[in-house]
Amino acid sequence: MTMALWLRDASGMTPDLDPAIPPLDPPVPVDEALAALAGPRATAQWTGLWLGLWEGRLEDWFTLETLGPPGFELLTRSPELKAVVEAGFQHAVSWSTKNRPLAPSSPAPPAASTSREAATVVKQLEGELGRRARDFDLDITVLPVAGRVFWQPTDGTLIVSENLVRDPRAYRALLYDVLAPLV
């Protein structure tokens, strides 16, 4: 998802998304070469790719395997977007690796720290309810976007901004509200 957002920001695309997704943080400057490739058709094709990721119809691992070189197979029917991705792919990978959510100041990788916090909230809820939690699935994705924002695009999915996760009180309150009906 981060690479898709990098391509959006670096090419200057302004897709009409609901919900709107803030720009990446740290900000990505517009690359004029990518912007020249990113017309309305590329933006529409990017929106389709994003919705597939957002709604869980495309798994991140599948997308990474088929979105990149050598053949950019996922984009066979999206030639305008394919041109943008081919031109910006290496920079998107580099930026996404360098700006992996929570990596710079966290001793644990994001999945571990978000999971650890969720486990703490589940234990709290179990204590309040006087019983063990029911089985449930919750996939938490952290995106390096501006602001303290979150979304629940599908059941069992929580997408949060890195800035929200870095605010322990706000993040714990969010987890409590999301997990209470599941536990």
Give pLDDT, residue 74.
85
47 pLDDT band, cuts 50/70/90, is very high
- Residue 102 pLDDT > 80: no
- Residue 8 pLDDT > 80: yes
Question: How many Å apart are CA 159 and CA 143, to the nearest integer?
Answer: 7
Give pLDDT, residue 107.
44
Q: Which helix (H) or strand (E) holds 57?
A: none
Q: How many CA atoms lie within 13 A of 28 on its CB side?
A: 30
Question: How many Å apart are CA 49 and CA 76, to the nearest integer?
Answer: 12
CA distances to 6, 29, 54 from 99, in Å: 11, 14, 20
Q: What is the mean pLDDT of residues 66-84?
A: 87
Contact present, 150 and 157 (Cβ < 8 Å): no
Relative to beta strand 139-143, strand 157-161 is parallel
Contact present, 133 and 125 (Cβ < 8 Å): yes
State what percent of residues in the chain have pLDDT above 70: 90
126 pLDDT band, cuts 50/70/90, is very high
Burial of 157: CB neighbours in 10 Å, binned 0-12, 13-18, 19+:
middle
Give pLDDT, residue 72.
87
